[in-house]
Structure formats: C-alpha cells, structure tokens
Chains A and B, each alone.
Chain A
C-alpha cells in the first residue's frame, strides 16, 4: 500500500478506536472529528504500556483498550440515557441559530484549509534525526515479541536512552504499520504530521468557539446590532492566523516525525479548553484528552501535563464551589487524578523494568547560577512573543476585564499560570539536570519552548477576540443605561459553573454562567 492510502487507513483505524469514548466525553461537536484520531492515539499509547508491562501482542492490547473504552461508555449511556449523544438532535431544535453555525463552518473550513496548507512541507520526504533514530524506530519494537521489546528497552548496546520517553508517537505509528503492512518511515512521518494537524485544528478552533460564544452573549439585547458579530469574525481570523503562527513555530518538526509539536500543541489546546473557555464537562473533557496526548508523547509533555491537570481541575473545582453545584466539586478533581495516573503509568513502568534512560538525575550543583543564566539566555530568543503578550495582557486585564467576563472567557491568569508551569518544569530540568548545558540547549531548547511560545501567541489571540467585543459592549452599556434598570448580564455576580451536556450547544448552556474565573 502506498503512503497516502495507508495514512488514510491508519487515521480511520485510530479514529474508530477513539470514536465512542470521544463522543461520550465531548459530544457531537465540530472538534470531535479531529479529536477522534487523537483519542485513538491515546488508546495506542495505553496499548503500548499494557503490552510492555504484561505481554501479549501490541495490536491485541490496542483492540482490547478500544473495545473496553467503548464498552464503558456504552454502559454509561445505558444507565444514563440523558447522556446519549443523539439527544443532541432534540436540543438542536432550540439551538442558537444559523449565524452561530455559519461562523462555525467558516472557522472550521478556514482552519482545516490553513492546516492542510501548513502541511505542504510533507511534499519533501524529510525524516527527522530523532524520528528515524527513536520515534519511528521504536514503532517496530512494539510489533516485535514482548521478549524482544524488553531487550531493546533495557540493553545498553542499543545506545538510545530516549527510548524511555512516552510512547504515543511510536505507538500510533505501530498501529499504522500493523494495519497497513507498510513499514516505512515515510508513513510514520505522515501519520504523525496528520495527528499534529488534528491537534492544531482543535486548539485553533477554540478561538472560533470563544468568538461565537461571545457574539451569542452580545446579541441579547439585539440593540447592539452588527457590532456583536465582531468577536466571531476576529475569532475566525485569529484562529486562521494562529495556524500559520503555530506552523512556523513548530517547523520543521511539524512534518518530520518529531514528538515535540504534538505535545506542545496539545498543551495549548488544554489551556484553551480547560482554562479559557467557559468551564463545563464537554470543554473540560477536550482539555483532559489533550493533556493525555501531551503527557503520553514526551517527557517534556509529562512535565507540562502535571501543572495543566492541576490548573484545569482546580479551576473546575473552584467553579463548582462558587456555584450552585457544591456536591460535584470533586468530579473534575477525580478525573484529573485519573489523568495523572494515566500519564504517570509509562514513567513508572520504565523504572519498574529498569529501562535504559529511565532514571533522571537532578541535582543542585555548584554550577547552578551558570546553568540558570545559560538556560535563560538559551530560551529567551524563542520566547519573544512574551514581550508582546505581557503588555497586551496587562492592558486588557486593567481595562477590559468586564468585557472579558461578558464574553464568558476565563481570566488569562490561568493561561499565564500554565505558561509559568511549563517554564518552571522545562527550565528546572535544564538547570538541575546533569547533562552538559551548552549542547543540551543547542539541540533541544528551540523545541522544548514551543509550548510556551504557542501559549503566548494564544494569549495574544484571545485578547484580540476579547478586545473586539469592546465596541459592542460599550454600545450595550449605553443602551442599558438609557433604557433599563434590570441587572445586566455582564455583572460578575451570577458566577456559577456549568456542568454542561456533552453536546455542541455549549454557549446555550453557558449563557447563564459568567466565566469570570
């Protein structure tokens, strides 16, 4: 089978594995489609972990994980008929209207189109150094016997200490190779690039969601008129631009089989859905799926996944405590704990089997200051966006907080906390690690800072969406002042979380709540 049909088959198989759990968790939304292969890749990573831990065959585990996940969701649907996704068809009858959907279609078409254009680097058959030496080579290990896999993970002769890195990229490639019989590096590169594109589409679409939800809130009362459409338009434009920006930040690794883009982009998506959009079960599920993708892709992804889980679960729990659903505050905390267990399974297994490269030596040495300054100067050139994002965030936070709350968007301090968490974990690894700092920085710093750079651009973009609502907000306030004494919707007093149904109608459910957190 040639590469293109093989890649299509691989994506279909991964999507099939992710179909039921994704629909069960997220519902029937636009972003469910690109999330399907990502959930399938999480299943593949879980299969790799189970195979390495207990034996059997990798594909047996993959099918088993997918069937088990589907079965759990099926039982849930049987016990809770109100959670079945086909309820959506009834709810759509009271949906938010044609403009809302048209904006969604425009946004998705624009994002998919620019993402496809950004993959044109695939026309050059590049296989990255680490991709050929590790990420794709290890895919073949998962298709060998359990005994041989253990040997390759352990024996020092194989020289690759990075083989202890999380398995998602290799496992997804192994699925592709197994179901198509096409064991080529080229297929691996293409499948990984398509997964990168899927996570990029999901992350960018959060801007479209933010814009159109903002418009929906501004559209009542109708006196605001056409100005209310501005956040939607800016959301679509910013999302399309963000795709180009992300492609530039992550190339050439977006299309040469590296694992850095997928965890970085997934981290940004988790920030978007878990920390910036209106909190609710569906958006939070998107965030947790993306955190799993990040945490199962690379050690730096693990390091970033931990603060992300804590932040997303904390925000949701705080929302519950503030709102009228006090009893459910522990639900997101429990889910977050489960995500941490899933992310931690692979590193724990690496130590248990004494895998080569499983131990990370961190120490406070006499060179601490030297390593700190070297790390700072190494990372700084890739984080210029923060020079733009910081003043925008400060100005927006001082002047536009009320506008942001009207739009139902979370405080960007949550996103900054995620950026800080990423910098601390990655920077701390560089400072406290035992490897020679200069070559370490030279060969990795441009890749391990991708998350923070992309999150910085996300913050710039989301403030663009928020700021575009200022004219409508100003008009609305003047209308309100002259014509009504009723409480305005943007007053930050009615803050309650929305344990929304996993359906596309997030904004409809979100409308009563104000995302001031």
Chain B
C-alpha cells in the first residue's frame, strides 16, 4: 500500500512539476517572437550587414589586412567580416589597415559608424578611403543581444 500511495503521489508531483515548468518554458520561447526582440534582431543584422558591405568595398577576401581601433571596434569588425577577411601576418605584409570611425553624422554611415581603410601607396604616401555601398540611418551601435 505504501508503494502504491507514494508511487501515485510521486508520479503526480513529477508530472505537475514538469507541466508547470513546461508552461514557463513555452512562454520563454514565445518572448523570441515579440516585437522588441524582432526589431532588435533586425537592427543588429542590418548594422553588421552594413559594416560588412563597406569592408568589402575596401578590401577583397584575399587581401592581407590589419584590423585597427579599440577593442569594441575590433569586435565589431570581427563580427561583421571576420569570417572571410584575410589577416596579415607578419603585419608588414598588410596591404591596408581597416578601422571604424564612430560618431559620424550624415548619410553613408552605419548607425553613425563608417569603415575606413588606410593604404600605404608607393607614390601617393598614405591614402585613406571610406567604405561605401551601404548605410543605415540612426546612431549608436545596435542594442546588444543577450550574452
């Protein structure tokens, strides 16, 4: 009799506990489809796509380059173009140094950021070019997705 009572009670407790947590879990998944999440994801994708297009306007996949700037900018460059860009090693083999310039106003920027590349030209000295091909109006980086 003890086995029967404890068994029924335990089975009911386990299933109720699972059901309650399952309901919560289903709600957590639902949050991924609310308007704020969708907007944040779209902005995030648009920002990194914009930066990637500007990087591609400055360097080709096989060009050895250096990545410059502060830690935040380096991470942004890695997130946008790190999968295909060719990193120069040794640094002297680089054809260009790619950086971000932040707090840029006006058209041609990705949420206030533009990509710039510095080339050492044999005749013209240092040449600075700004990335083109994409822009995203607004300012500041996109809201950080959950870590």
Chain A residues in 8 Å Cβ range of B82: 133, 137, 140, 158
Q: Number of A residues whose C-beta is below 8 Å from B?
A: 72
Q: Which residues of A contact B17 (CB under 8 A)?
A: 388, 460
Q: Which of B71-113 contact A (CB under 8 A)?
A: 71, 74-75, 78-79, 82-84, 86-87, 89
Alpha-carbon distance A121/B26, docked complex (angstroms):
11
Most chain A CB neighbours (cut-off 10 Å) among B3, B14, B24: B14
The binding surface of chain B is classed by DSSP as helix
Question: Is A469's CB within 8 Å of the partner chain B?
Answer: yes
| Those of B1-18 within 8 Å (CB) of chain A | 1-4, 6-11, 13-15, 17-18
Residues of A near B71 (CB, < 8 A) are 159
Chain B residues with Cβ below 8 Å from A144 are: 84, 86
A-B contact pairs, 18 of them (CB 8 A): A120-B32, A120-B33, A124-B33, A126-B37, A128-B146, A137-B83, A151-B89, A155-B89, A157-B66, A245-B22, A254-B29, A255-B32, A392-B13, A403-B7, A467-B8, A470-B4, A471-B8, A473-B3
Taking CB as reference atom, which chain A residue is nearest B82? A137
Residue of B nearest to A128 (CB): B145
CB distance from A161 to the nearest CB of B (A): 12
User: How many residue-residue contacts, CB under 8 A, span A and B?
Assistant: 194
What is the CA–CA distance of A444 and B147 in the complex, to the nearest angstrom? Answer: 7
Choose one: B19, B78, B146; the contact of A137 (CB below 8 Å). B78
- Apart from A118-B29, A252-B31, A467-B7, what are 4 other A-B pairs with CB-CB below 8 Å? A241-B15, A247-B25, A248-B21, A252-B146
Interface 9-residue window, one of A24-32, A94-102, A394-402, A502-510? A394-402
Tier of interface size on chain B = 35 or more
Q: A157, B11: Cβ atoms under 8 Å? A: no
Q: Are B8 and A460 in contact, CB atoms less than 8 angstroms apart?
A: no
Closest 6 CB pairs of A and B: A248-B25, A470-B7, A140-B83, A464-B14, A121-B32, A244-B22
Q: What residues on A are CB-neighbors of B37 within 8 Å? A: 124, 126
A69 to B25 CA separation, bound complex (whole angstroms):
38
The reply to whether B87 and A158 form a contact with Cβ atoms under 8 Å apart is yes
- B9, B41, B87, B145: the one contacting A151 at CB < 8 Å is B87
Q: Which DSSP category, helix, strand, loop or mixed, fits chain A's interface?
A: helix
Bound-state Cα–Cα, A118 to B84, Å: 32
Known interface pairs A137-B82, A158-B78; A248-B24 also in contact (CB < 8 Å): yes
A320 to chain B, nearest CB (A): 31
Nearest B residue (CB) for A459: B14
Proximity bits, A96-123, B CB within 8 Å = 1, else 0 = 0000000000000000000000101101
Q: Which residues of B contact A251 (CB under 8 A)?
A: 25, 28-29, 31-32
Contact call A126/B33, Cβ cutoff below 8 A: no
Question: Are B3 and A244 closer than 8 Å at their CB atoms?
Answer: no
Q: Which residue of B lies closest to A130 (CB)?
A: B147
- B41 in complex: contacting residue of A127, A155, A463, CB < 8 Å: A127
Contacting pair B38 A467 (CB below 8 A): no
Among the interface residues A125, A154, A470, which one has the most CB atoms of the partner chain B within 10 A?
A: A470
A251 to B30, CA, bound (A): 10
CB A460 to nearest CB in B, in angstroms, measures 5
Partner-B contacts on A (CB < 8 A): 118, 120-121, 123-130, 132-133, 136-141, 144, 148, 151-152, 154-155, 157-160, 183, 185-186, 234, 237-238, 241-242, 244-249, 251-252, 254-256, 385, 388, 392, 395-396, 399-400, 402-403, 443-444, 457, 460-461, 463-464, 466-471, 473-474
Return the chain B residue nearest A136 by Cβ: B83
Residue interface bits B17-58, CB-to-A below 8 A is 1, else 0: 111011111111101110001101110110010000000000
CB distance from B22 to the nearest CB of A (A): 3
Alpha-carbon distance between A132 and B40 when the two chains are bound, in angstroms? 15
Q: Which residues of A contact B117 (CB under 8 A)?
A: none
Q: Which of B3, B18, B83, B146 contacts A399 (CB 8 A)?
A: B3
Q: Are B78 and A463 in contact, CB atoms less than 8 angstroms apart?
A: no
Of the candidates A127, A132, A155, A237, the one whose C-beta lies within 8 Å of that of B15 is: A237
Whose C-beta in chain A lies nearest to the C-beta of B39? Answer: A124
Q: Evaluate contact between B18 and A464: CB separation under 8 angstroms.
A: yes
- Give the docked Cα–Cα distance between A189 and B71 (Å): 25
Query: Are A133 and B78 in contact, CB atoms less than 8 angstroms apart?
Result: yes
Known: A247-B28, A457-B21. A139 touches B83 (CB 8 A): yes
Q: Is the CB of B79 within 8 A of A133?
A: yes
Q: Which residues of A contact B9 (CB under 8 A)?
A: 467
Partner of B87, one of A125, A157, A244, A392: A157
**Which A residues lie within 8 Å of B15 (CB)?**
234, 237-238, 241, 464
B3 and A400 contacting across the interface, CB-CB below 8 Å: yes
Report the separation of the CA atoms of residues A137 and B78 in the bound assembly, to the nearest whole angstrom.
8
Cα distance A169–B21 in the bound complex, in angstroms: 28
Q: How far is the CA of A399 from the CA of B74 in the complex (A)?
A: 60
The CA-CA distance from A385 to B22 in the complex, in Å, is 12
Chain B residues with Cβ below 8 Å from A123 are: 32-33
- Separation in Å of the B59 CB from the closest CB of chain A? 14
